[in-house]
Structure 1
């Protein structure tokens, strides 16, 4: 059984109890295996999963843990090893780990990590592996070089997120998360926000139904290590002006706090 669940430990435990008690549909026979699949960082919310609690529950109910670190590998953790490193989780407690080199590393390919038995099985039975070619040397070097940029990416992300929140935007996600969604809510505001930002030379990615619930439209900000502080401040100025124009600042601005911290930004 594959169970894709929200990263809420209490809900996970409730679902596991129910599935173990009821068994398979129609026959109600016991499940042979229960696999709990979670994301390291959820791509539309920017929230980091509660991995230690999830692993503890999986051990309690003898379920397998499968974590997809597509948005967290290379982005969080002291050396960029993902949520497991960030939260101090022993990777031996995770049954299956997958990730991609196309996001944080800007390269191609991906990986799957697990027990020797699992990896040997996949090598001989997985079509994607059997009929694929090895990763090219330039792509491998790109992955290695990106590791040197991780600290700057985290610094830029946290600065940008903090300043957006001070301006009154509703920004989802946790600190250190590279996924930075600004809530728009009304789908009608998507073209107005994205096109006006683009007209002022700031490109933003928007997400709406069916990728998100109908009335939970959002814009996702993507920051890189190559962005200078000047670049970030200019982008903040544009987003602030457009946010006022479109009406998506849902919280009060914090000018006093900015002055006290000596980080006040001036906007036209």
Structure 2
């Protein structure tokens, strides 16, 4: 590509980016301006106005999708998303009949393809069928569902646990059910979408603090804690975009000092942090009862699907009887519950998987930094970003790696700010040292072109 072509592409990308930043506000303003006034218009004119408004194509969300597609077409960058995997995905995967080194999945301990885990799921299907088909409260439970919850409660050293059918829905429904008007929800500025959505839907006041900045949180609570009835602080055990973690012991001190609830989302830290994979509490040396709500997912380390909350008995009783995402949703499929229960048993019995994951993550971080890549604040536990600071570059690098037999996903604008565009590598315990070294070498060649 000539220098002139490169400059034109960069200018086109910048123009499309600015357009994408404006489109939501502008489209909504246009729709609001065109909205018919009830009682002011009648007949064909009113019908035409309503017809123009009731179109999905006119929604700001669709305008964003259209512009993202336009950006890819203008820059001649093939979309790296929605690729079809033709078998089990772990350290390697098969796409289009070709095997790739795979850094685009959360099968951190390789348990989703473990024969005994798959056998447990198959046995559950043979005994219970593929679905329980209704809410557990109104239609009854299956033993394996409660076995999983009791095992998770024991793992977290809590009174009880309740399992939901979706990790995202777990945060949304639990935060929304427990907190409302007159309460305050404070979360890390980089908290997962599910945490933000739950806070927004709850009706409670929502504030954020700078990423992992316990001092800012302390100062914030000193100013406003007295204005609210219940206050909950929500953190993540391992942040999936940056691969870093909070100083949990500092947040525990704040919990005590200000009299607030503390919720920790362990979606990416369960089975990853701690010598035996017990998560951030083991990594930071914090007793389990210093955190009020332990949230986690079964879709990553635990080789299934769904989410859970572990905590004291009053908490679990409230959620089991009144949380909409549990009460009005189908119960966890027996095959998924059985798979996650078997995976949890492997996690408890085989800490060497956790050590292999730690070694691979640290190797990737070490070699990426040695090659001159910006890995941000990653601590080298399962998640390592390579920050490109350019959406175009992130997409180009991802596609170039794919051509060389390496599958990794880019994260770019508008999912993150343009300056934070990146490739995001997820490392599994089953990745071989030579696969990691080969990947960094390939990335270095691509970056130097």
- TM class by shorter chain equals 0.7 to 0.9
Q: Which residue of 2 aligns with 1:36?
A: 233
1:96-135 alignment, distance < 5 Å = 96-130=293-327, 131-134=329-332, 135=334
Q: Which residue of 1 aligns with 2:408?
A: 204
> Secondary structure of the equivalent of 2:222?
helix
Q: What is the Cα deviation at residue 110 of structure 1?
A: 2.2
1:226 aligns to 2:409 (yes or no): no
Q: Which residue of 1 aligns with 2:277?
A: 80
8 Å CA contact 2:302, 2:340 repeated in 1: no
Q: Which residue of 2 aligns with 1:18?
A: 223
The TM-score normalised by the length of structure 2 is: 0.50
Q: Which residue of 2 aligns with 1:2?
A: 185
Instruction: Give the structure with the higher percent helix.
Output: 2
* CA distance in 1 between partners of 2:347 and 2:281 (Å): 19
* CA distance in 2 between partners of 1:171 and 1:2 (Å): 30
Moved more, 98-107 or 49-58: 98-107
Runs of 4+ in structure 1 displaced over 4 angstroms? none
* CA distance in 2 between partners of 1:90 and 1:192 (Å): 45
8 Å CA contact 1:99, 1:112 repeated in 2: yes
* Structure with more contact order per residue of length (Cα contacts < 8 Å, sep ≥ 6): 2
* CA distance in 2 between partners of 1:82 and 1:183 (Å): 26
8 Å CA contact 2:364, 2:380 repeated in 1: no
8 Å CA contact 2:367, 2:437 repeated in 1: no
Q: What is the Cα deviation at residue 156 of structure 1?
A: 0.8
1:141 aligns to 2:338 (yes or no): no
* CA distance in 2 between partners of 1:183 and 1:32 (Å): 41
Shift in CA distance, 88/176, structure 1 to aligned 2, threshold 3 Å = farther
Larger Rg: 2
* CA distance in 1 between partners of 2:380 and 2:368 (Å): 15
8 Å CA contact 1:8, 1:50 repeated in 2: no
* CA distance in 2 between partners of 1:61 and 1:11 (Å): 14
371, 377, 383: which one pairs with 1:179? 383
Could you say what the CA RMSD is over the residues aligned between the two structures, in angstroms? 1.7
1:58 aligns to 2:255 (yes or no): yes
* CA distance in 2 between partners of 1:115 and 1:225 (Å): 32
233, 240, 243: which one pairs with 1:46? 243
358, 382, 393: which one pairs with 1:154? 358
Shift in CA distance, 242/146, structure 1 to aligned 2, threshold 3 Å = farther
* CA distance in 2 between partners of 1:141 and 1:94 (Å): 26
Moved more, 46-55 or 124-133: 124-133
Q: What is the Cα deviation at residue 174 of structure 1?
A: 4.1
203, 212, 237: which one pairs with 2:441? 237
8 Å CA contact 1:197, 1:239 repeated in 2: yes
Q: What is the Cα deviation at residue 243 of structure 1?
A: 2.2
* CA distance in 2 between partners of 1:55 and 1:193 (Å): 41
Number of aligned positions between the proteins: 237
1:248-263 alignment, distance < 5 Å = none
* CA distance in 2 between partners of 1:242 and 1:95 (Å): 46
8 Å CA contact 2:364, 2:384 repeated in 1: no
Q: What is the Cα deviation at residue 56 of structure 1?
A: 0.3
Shift in CA distance, 174/196, structure 1 to aligned 2, threshold 3 Å = closer
* CA distance in 1 between partners of 2:440 and 2:371 (Å): 9
Gapped regions of structure 2 (runs ≥ 5): 1-183, 189-210
Q: What is the Cα deviation at residue 234 of structure 1?
A: 1.6
Gapped regions of structure 1 (runs ≥ 5): 24-30, 246-268
